[in-house]
Amino acid sequence: TESRVIGALAYGAGYEAMSWTQTALEVVEVCKPCVKWDCEGRTYAMDCYLKLLVRLCHIYDTRGGVKKIKDGASQEQILNETRLQKLQRELVKDFAEVATSRLLARLIWALAEHFDLHGLDPLLADDPEDALNIIVA
């Protein structure tokens, strides 16, 4: 299955797949477990995964939270932004299981610029499960 995932990532990171963000989002969701793999120096799949993740974060501008219908967002856009932000939070919770420190650093870099810090609950400031606390730790 690893070769199928690498193939999906390579396709998903390509220009053609980006005209269908729905497909790209599905690839990023399905391939999320790859950050836990020890690829023994084979970083191509990880590079593709992070590149695709960052492209989606740029397209949906995840820093500003999920857009609303009153702001002109379509139902599909709202759904996709919600899915992408959920994926970001899941990836943060997986930090402890990331295979290598190099990949962890790259994953933090890929998420940091695109994470919706304003959407975090200030009441969770002492919660070890809070995304910001995980990033800082």
**5-44 pLDDT, tens per residue?**
666 666 655 555 445 677 778 878 887 887 777 666 666 7
**101-130 pLDDT, tens per residue?**
888 888 888 887 777 666 666 566 677 776
Single pTM value for the model = 0.70
Q: Which residues contact 135 (CB under 8 A, 6 or more apart)?
A: 92, 95, 108, 111, 112, 115
Q: Which residues contact 7 (CB under 8 A, 6 or more apart)?
A: none
- Residue bearing the bigger pLDDT, 4 or 53: 53
Report domain extents, the chain: 2-136
- The predicted pLDDT at position 18 comes to 44
- The predicted pLDDT at position 36 comes to 76
- The predicted pLDDT at position 22 comes to 74
